[in-house]
């Protein structure tokens, strides 16, 4: 009887796996086309569109880099000296100027500052087609500097004393300037009078004289000028409270006899006087950055330990200017 062959008791090995498909060996339906294959499949029209798109993207990148590195240009509203009756020389002329400290404070962050003059479209000597909206278009932000009282006429009241009649001509110029920068979505920082003007622009009113209208208030102005100081506090929800979270009793200068009374539309109160609750800062809540400060931050030393260091406010304003110029 023939002996049967020995049966194989070891497990059979699985068949070797197929090698992975490379981009060169994979069937066309299973791999991405190579660049030279894409070029072969492009029509002349498709190829032209792809080249044009690449050039546009490269140009956009270059423009974006230039804009991000371009020096900011900040406009500052002008103070106005009106001619004196019967005076000769410069006192008989209209002068427009800015206080040195405000320019140097803004320039401390290596930005360019331009004083914005009033415009004259129908002057007899030198008419011009330039409008305030042209400044709003070409500048990155606006600072409304301090100065003369806001006229009670600008918030539909009469001056209770002749010396509190304010500067109606400057009001009209700055109200238009403020409107144009807000319409252009550019940031605005109002200082002292500028804070009051922002409030009036949105329908608010002012105390014509704090000492007369609020007898219990502390003295917000005296002969010490910028050495007159008081504390401020930041209400719940204030952006300044978040900005100065570590400040327990911030101290600011006080150089104003007028102040915000009725708060304008869509404005938030950002700070109040610690002693008497007089409003010290406001912010328009429908814009990226439109803020008014009753104190003068340009008179506060950067990094100082006594007065509130206001460079964070300046940095926030300039950050908004960079973000809104694109």
Q: Is 157 labeled as catalytic in the residue annotation?
A: no
DSSP H or E stretch at residue 73: strand 73-77
Residue 297 in tokens: 């931050």
The sheet with strand 279-284 has its strands ordered as 112-116, 73-77, 141-144, 188-191, 290-293, 279-284, 267-273, 229-233, 251-253
- Among residues 220, 256, 296, 300, the one annotated as catalytic is 296
Q: Is 230 within 8 Å of 274 (Cβ atoms)?
A: yes
SS3 267: strand
Q: Is 296 labeled as catalytic in the residue annotation?
A: yes
Distance CA 106, CA 314 (A): 7
Q: Is 195 labeled as catalytic in the residue annotation?
A: no
- 283 phi/psi in degrees, rounded to 5: -150, 135
Q: Is 248 within 8 Å of 282 (Cβ atoms)?
A: no
Q: CB neighbours of 323 closer than 8 A, spacing ≥ 6? A: 288
Residue 125 in tokens: 């000597």
- Among residues 174, 180, 192, 257, the one annotated as catalytic is 192
Query: First and final CA of the chain: distance in angstroms?
Result: 98
Name the residues annotated as catalytic: 192, 296, 298
């Amino acid at each position: 009887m023939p002996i049967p062959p020995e049966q194989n008791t070891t497990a059979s090995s699985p068949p070797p796996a197929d090698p992975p498909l490379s981009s060169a060996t994979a069937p066309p339906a299973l791999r991405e086309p190579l660049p030279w294959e894409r070029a072969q499949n492009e029509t002349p029209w498709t190829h032209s569109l792809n080249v044009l798109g690449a050039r546009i993207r490269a140009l956009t990148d270059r423009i974006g880099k230039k804009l991000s590195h371009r020096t900011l240009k900040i406009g500052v509203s002008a103070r106005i000296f009106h001619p004196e009756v019967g005076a000769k020389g410069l006192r008989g002329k209209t002068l427009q100027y800015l206080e040195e400290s405000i320019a140097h404070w803004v320039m401390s962050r290596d930005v360019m500052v331009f004083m914005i003059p009033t415009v004259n479209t129908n002057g007899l000597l030198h008419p011009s087609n330039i409008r305030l909206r042209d400044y709003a278009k070409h500048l990155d932000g606006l600072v409304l500097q301090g100065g003369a009282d806001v006229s009670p006429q600008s918030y539909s009241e009469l001056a209770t004393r002749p010396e509190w009649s304010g500067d109606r001509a400057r009001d009209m110029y700055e109200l238009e300037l403020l409107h144009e920068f807000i319409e252009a979505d550019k940031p605005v920082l109002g200082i002292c009078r500028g804070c009051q003007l922002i409030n009036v622009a949105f329908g608010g009113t002012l105390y014509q004289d704090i000492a007369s209208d609020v007898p219990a208030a502390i003295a917000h102005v005296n002969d010490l000028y910028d050495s007159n100081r008081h504390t401020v506090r930041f209400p719940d929800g204030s952006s300044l409270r978040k900005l100065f979270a570590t400040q327990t009793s911030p101290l600011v200068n006080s150089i104003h006899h007028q102040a915000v009374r009725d708060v304008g539309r869509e404005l938030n109160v950002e700070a109040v006087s610690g002693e008497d609750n007089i409003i010290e800062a406001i912010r328009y809540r429908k814009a990226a950055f439109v803020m008014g400060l009753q104190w003068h931050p340009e008179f506060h030393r950067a990094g100082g330990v006594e007065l509130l260091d206001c460079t964070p406010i300046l940095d926030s304003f300039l950050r908004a200017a960079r973000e809104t110029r694109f």
